[in-house]
Amino acid sequence: MNKHGPVPGGSRNCVRCRWFVTEPHHLPAMTAHFNTLAYHFDEARNACIAHEKTLQDLKKQKADAEEEDQPFARIDAYRQAERMWEKSLKRFSDLAEDLVACWRLIERCKVALDAPLGDGTQLIAAGTVGDVSIVFEETESELLQLVGVCESVEIYPDLEPGKAVFRRSQLLDAVLYRDNLSPMFMLLSEQEQLLAGNAFIRHLAQKMNPENPTLGQRQVINLIDAGVNLSTHFDLDLATLLTPTETPQAASAKHRILVGGEK
């Protein structure tokens, strides 16, 4: 009988693999992975809540129909809602466990960095560990989370941002719209949205707080969340920060689709 099964969450889910080994100096990459997992976790939570609401509404309709001794006409929708809720709940649960596993590795890396190095190499294994103190920074700002994910993806391209790049582009286009500028980000390719959006935020953060751009970024995001007109606040034309690049390769790319037709 096998003592171990496959890695929970499937391939490439390294933080849940019993053979995974890392080193303390990979802490920034681990942190980037954690932030990306946190984004997907929040998305999964929202999907789970939405599917549960749909299911509860259908359950109420079904109960009302049974109470009136009437056939429930939406049984197919009810079963589909059950499947969707169960699927979303499974993904939510898996991501919660991924987050905990990743945080444990981060905590162990932090401890190792504070310990004397000695003559050997510090290796951190995923294995079992004792209790750890976990502190999460919670934020109500969707944009702050998205900006963090998008910055990490530029540095670590193997991360999977999901819809983070597109959602950030929607929010940044809303910023341009408030400043009487035409939306631009959603007109770009996904890679262009990633790079242009990161550059846009960095320029504003630098202008907000030249001495501490990291703090400046948070201050800019606070202004955006508050609906402040950035052109007026910074006394500049935001269009000067927008430098879309042409990509001939993308323009000439061929896209294939499967179509049906009569014989």
pLDDT bin (cut points 50, 70, 90) of residue 105 is confident
Query: How is residue 254 written in tokens?
Result: 């061929």
pTM for the predicted model, two decimal places = 0.71
Residue 227's pLDDT is 92
Q: Which of 71-75, 127-131, 256-260 has the lowest mean pLDDT?
A: 127-131
Statement: residue 1 has pLDDT above 90:
no
Query: How large is the average pLDDT for residues 181-202?
Result: 93
Domain ranges of the chain: 19-125, 142-241
Contact 202, 213 (CB under 8 A): yes
Residue 248's pLDDT is 38
Statement: residue 47 has pLDDT above 90:
yes
Residue 202's pLDDT is 94
Average pLDDT, the chain: 80
Spatial CA neighbour of 9 closest among 32, 39, 41? 41
Residue 77's pLDDT is 92
Q: What is the pLDDT of residues 193-216, one digit of tens each?
A: 999 999 999 999 999 999 999 899
pLDDT bin (cut points 50, 70, 90) of residue 237 is confident
Statement: residue 121 has pLDDT above 50:
no
Q: What is the pLDDT of residues 67-93, one digit of tens each?
A: 888 888 898 999 999 999 999 999 999
Q: How far is CA 251 from CA 189, 196, 199, 254, 255, in A?
A: 10, 18, 23, 9, 11
Q: What is the pLDDT of residues 139-165, one digit of tens each?
A: 678 999 999 999 999 998 888 999 999
Query: How large is the average pLDDT for residues 93-115?
Result: 82
